Structure 1
């Protein structure tokens, strides 16, 4: 398994986020990657390489809306141009175009533009957010290339900020660019006729679902906390099955807070069976380990040993088909290294 590491992830380091009605230190921190790298030093799972961004910008424009990408690329400069003192502050959205408001026109006001492209107040935009997010997307692209022409069956995009909450033209949930979608699109363009995206993060991958909801060539499946009570709330229900050509190609498996290994594993088996029925030529796994019992912002109760079995089951079900693993959530920082590497170890043992 090739590990593609984002060397620029430290450039995105938010100061504060809005969480349950108050500003708190960010849960999504550089230590999330640092702990995984440290554990890979103790238990290597394959060579660690840097991303190659050749062709990335054109691919991003096929995943995300061009005006959204343009906004992200200039957002920090626009923020600081308002007031040089803003360089010491993160930009946090505070106003949004809800139902009935217009979203077709991009406002001149920066706060309005920031709100136009976001869905929460928990995703601070910093001086290095664009550089870190773009390098993370390059990791996903490089990982996809590793399994389509680089001699690997599996690859892991080790990056932050995460990506699965980012849609075609919106950010939130700590996510700016959808790395899993970048990998899936790259796999399609490399010749995989059908690609599956399996999201095992605690939080529903609302961005990934929205990107592929009307497509028949990409099957999306997600195991997550019930959106009636769990963030990001407004997508992820079991009756969301896709639309148009994509009808029947989206599977949501919401589970109640407190679900442990037995219930979660049964949902995984159901998702893997659906992927088998779809007949995917390649797979992308949004690997969140915030399903861990000790995670501070989640509600499942998996333990570290369960993650080895998760990796084993997924790789075994794929039967050697190309697979890109993409790092998503996991906020019990001291445990993320062990939990992520356990997944990779299980996957390596089963899938080579």
Structure 2
């Protein structure tokens, strides 16, 4: 399988994040992508750099003021006396306080980030653009006849809304790839198998009937992102019925996940999708520090095989996965399952 990656991803290296009331080490380490890359080499995938596709595919999903914020945020933040090294929002437009658009970078940071889990560093904007460009390059290959292409995106993207980032996400790579595929395909399905609900992706396509969004994830009633991903969320307006959430209980393993995946695949068939985008998070693995679900290595192989059975032109976009010892094997297994072979990556 062709696999796109960026050698510049390590420029985004947030050292800290905010969790459970404490400043802790950030899990989105460059080693995540480096380990996956090593496994891709071992399995013989065709590793490619992506030609630049510009900002236009990104602007097809994200608002101009949000893109302007991301590009300028770090430099403006540095003008604040004694500010943190990275941009950390700390005041948000909560219910009843969302009637204005601030000029201050402090206010803009809160307006455009929905949590404290996506600090913006000096190179975050350029690296996020690179990451989105990988998804566009993969979609471009599929538009030109490739059956399936993988994009090793870092940072991830499925928590990014048109005008908000969060959860280690800034630009919604999967949504950008989905929109790019719409250049040729009339109906595109986006399936998210990350342990966390793809709240940003849901937000992007919430009112659209040309994209079917389905997410399999740990039930958000007591898990991130808490406020989205519930089964009753079905879309709105023209998009009513084109959004499907399949929340799973804590600790659900392979069989429960694969049963939900059968439901997802049946709905994708009913939608008559012409192409598929996969948000390939592997943090549902039983050893992932997010402690949400208990999918095994073999489970990810079976997930890949089931998605391949849809027999659709497919873009696979990397999302989460935070155990440095297991992430590469999970991804390699899913791709091997998709291709109907065994992985050699340990």
Q: Report the TM-score, using the length of structure 2 for normalisation.
A: 0.96
Indicate the residue corresponding to 1:74 in structure 2: 72
Partner residue, 2:46: 47
1-structure distance, mates of 2:248, 2:188? 25
**Whole-Å separation in 2 of the counterparts to 1:159 and 1:220:** 20
Any conservation in 2 of the 1:202–1:298 contact (CA below 8 Å)?
no
SS in 1 for 2:60: helix
Q: Which of 144, 149, 154 is the aligned partner of 1:155? A: 149
Structure with more helix by fraction: 1
Please say if 1:329 is aligned against 2:320: yes
- Which residue of structure 1 lines up, in the alignment, with residue 223 of structure 2? 230
Name stretches of at least 5 consecutive residues in structure 1 with no aligned partner: none
Alpha-carbon distance in 2 for matches of 1:181, 1:116: 21
1:97 alignment partner, one of 80, 93, 97: 93
Contact 2:153 2:173 in 1 (8 A): no
Match of 2:275 among 272, 275, 282: 282
* 1:333 Cα offset (Å): 1.4
CA drift of 1:334 comes to 1.1
1:17 has 2:17 as partner: yes
The answer for the alignment partner of 1:2 in structure 2 is 2
Alignment of 1:121-160 (within 5 A): 121-149=116-144, 151-160=145-154
Runs of at least 4 residues off by over 4 Å: none
Deviation at 1:53, TM superposition (A): 2.2
Alignment of 1:213-292 (within 5 A): 213-292=206-285
Question: In the alignment, is the contact (CA less than 8 A) between 1:155 and 1:324 conserved in 2?
Answer: yes
Q: Distance in 2 between matches of 1:292 and 1:82?
A: 41
* Residue deviations 1:169-200 (CA, integer Å, cap 9, x gap): 000000000000000000002x1000000000
TM-score (norm 1): 0.94
Q: Is the 8 A contact 1:192 1:282 kept in 2?
A: yes
**1:341 counterpart = 2:335:** no
Q: 2:196 aligns with which of 194, 198, 203?
A: 203
Give me the whole-angstrom Cα distance separating, in 2, the residues matched to 1:11 and 1:78. Answer: 19
What SS does the corresponding residue of 2:159 show, helix, strand or coil? coil
**Number of matched residues?**
341
What is the alpha-carbon root mean square deviation over aligned residues?
1.2
Q: Say whether the 8 Å CA contact 2:158–2:199 is kept in structure 1.
A: yes
Structure 2: which 5+ residue stretches go unaligned?
342-346
Partner of 2:344: none
